Amino acid sequence: MLGQAVNFSRLKSYLPYLLSIAALFALFAYLYRNAERYQQLLDLSAGSLFRLFSLVLMFTLANGLINYLFYHGLGLPLTLNEGIGLAAVNTLANQLPFAGGMIAKGVYLKQRYKLTYTRFLSATLALYVCFVATNGVVGVAVLAYLALVDDTMVPTLLILGFSAMAASVLLLWLPVDASSVPDKWGQRLAQLVDGWQVLSQNRLLVGELVGVQILIILMFAGRFWIAFHALSQDVTLAQCILFSAATILTRLVSIAPGGFGVREAVVAGVASVLGFDVGVSVVAVGIDRLVATVVIIALGTVYAYILSKKVANAQSESEPYEQ
């Protein structure tokens, strides 16, 4: 019985990698069967490739700016360079299963700035809810534009989905009171509440973060536009913004390393509803992922070394930062 439990535990640890291998195998098999078709479609010029690399790099810098603004809101003297480094290392570590990026970021902030894991997790969750709502609002706005200005028939499924995402912002104002909790758990709950309410109590910070997030949505849309047009797909920027806004949902599922297959499924689902070929959509996302992976491996590796040196220096100081 014990042997069976050990074998199940070992199989469970390998499951994310097995899923990634299965997804890769399915993708390669599909590409092999449709190789001639994509040879005719694929038109990725050097200029398009350069623009794609540039947008991926700018995307990482924008995520670094979000880290800088957000953790300053939590009272941490994080530098912009550290923020960019955390964004790069976070994405690189997410190539590991089960949100390795969040673990890496939490450990760094704990060791360098003494940010408790409880406060970090609750604040990170609040930030994610804020961005889900932001992407939902952008999605609803684009659908409204398509319906009212472009006179396009808007699928009801997309209206419901993006509206639900936008409504999630109400979660940030949930009334939570830690004063009635016994002392044993009160301090920990107080940290949770403090992290959760960092956005609801700071409207200026919310405005800054939302502004950067909208910029990120547009950059991601630009990446999709380049990838789809490389496959001779006549997508509009508005449609690519919908793809981009929906991809934030991929963070909810991190079974396979890098969420491989999840982003492809989300974009393919939205593209299918809009009338695009599912297979072509998956390949378009694959082109973007390939370029992004090259950039993030380079940046993430360099910044992993830089940030580890900063942690080592902070631990050697006689008076570490006290939050």
Answer with the residue of higher pLDDT: 290 or 187.
Answer: 290
Confidence of residue 5 (pLDDT cuts 50, 70, 90): very low
Confidence of residue 3 (pLDDT cuts 50, 70, 90): very low
Q: What pLDDT sits at residue 35? A: 55
Determine contact, residues 258/22, Cβ cutoff 8 Å: no
Examine the pLDDT at 132 and tell me if it is beyond 50: yes
Confidence of residue 242 (pLDDT cuts 50, 70, 90): very high
- pTM, two decimals, is 0.79
Average pLDDT, the chain: 78
Confidence of residue 318 (pLDDT cuts 50, 70, 90): very low
d(CA 155, CA 259): 26
Q: What pLDDT sits at residue 8? A: 46
Confidence of residue 43 (pLDDT cuts 50, 70, 90): low
**291-315: pLDDT as tens digits:** 888 888 888 888 888 888 887 776 6
Give the least confident one: 10-14, 132-136, 171-175: 10-14
For residue 242, give every residue at least 6 positions away whose Cβ sits within 8 Å of its Cβ, in sequence order, or none.
139, 142, 143, 158, 270, 274
Answer with the residue of higher pLDDT: 66 or 150.
Answer: 66
Using the CB atoms, write b or e for 82-95: b if 16+ within 10 Å: bbbbbbbbbbbbbb
Examine the pLDDT at 244 and tell me if it is beyond 90: yes
Percent of the chain's residues with pLDDT above 90: 28
* Lookup: tokens for 60: 């990482």
**202-232: pLDDT as tens digits:** 889 999 999 999 999 999 999 999 988 888 8
Q: What pLDDT sits at residue 294? A: 85
**266-278: pLDDT as tens digits:** 888 888 888 887 8
Give the least confident one: 46-50, 266-270, 316-320: 316-320
Examine the pLDDT at 279 and tell me if it is beyond 90: no
**57-84: pLDDT as tens digits:** 999 999 999 999 999 988 899 999 999 9
**92-109: pLDDT as tens digits:** 877 765 557 788 888 889
Alpha carbon separation from 119 to 256, 293, 323 (Å, rounded): 27, 30, 12
Number of alpha helices (DSSP H) and beta strands (DSSP E) in the chain: 12, 0
d(CA 172, CA 130): 8
Q: What pLDDT sits at residue 280? A: 80
DSSP three-state, residue 244: helix
**159-168: pLDDT as tens digits:** 999 999 999 8
Average pLDDT score over residue span 145-155: 85
Percent of the chain's residues with pLDDT above 70: 72
Rg (CA), the chain: 21
Answer with the residue of higher pLDDT: 103 or 251.
Answer: 103
Q: Please give the sequence-ordered ranges of beta strands (E in DSSP) within the chain, or none if there are none.
A: none
d(CA 87, CA 67): 7
Average pLDDT score over residue span 1-8: 46
